[in-house]
Amino acid sequence: MAAIGLISIDNYDDLIEKKDDKQVSYLNSLITTLISDWASENHVFYKRINSERFLFVAKYSDIERMKEEKFQFLTRVRQVAEKMIWH
């Protein structure tokens, strides 16, 4: 069975508000890299919808496994975002 979902980067506008174009580009690339790595590791198809949202399709069993692992991917993204905010 397939699952369809949406990844939304919370507070994206706040995060990029005081950043210059180079920093915003770096952040976008970093977010995309993290999502791409996660997708590859978990057999997920994804497509960027806009700067802060991604659509994904995965097997339901893979989603269940990620839930059991407490979505460690989200912790990674949060840590990277926090570093960007403070630098």
| 24 pLDDT tier (thresholds 50, 70, 90) | confident
| Cα–Cα distance, 81 to 76 (Å, whole number) | 9
Read off the pLDDT of each residue in 71-76 and give the average, rounded to a whole number.
79
Q: What is the pLDDT of residue 87?
A: 55
Whole-number average pLDDT of the chain: 86
11-25, 27-41, 63-77: which is most confident: 27-41
Q: Can you point out the beta strands (E) in the chain?
A: 2-8, 45-50, 53-59
For the segment 31-49, what is each residue's pLDDT rounded down to a tens digit?
889 899 989 999 999 999 9
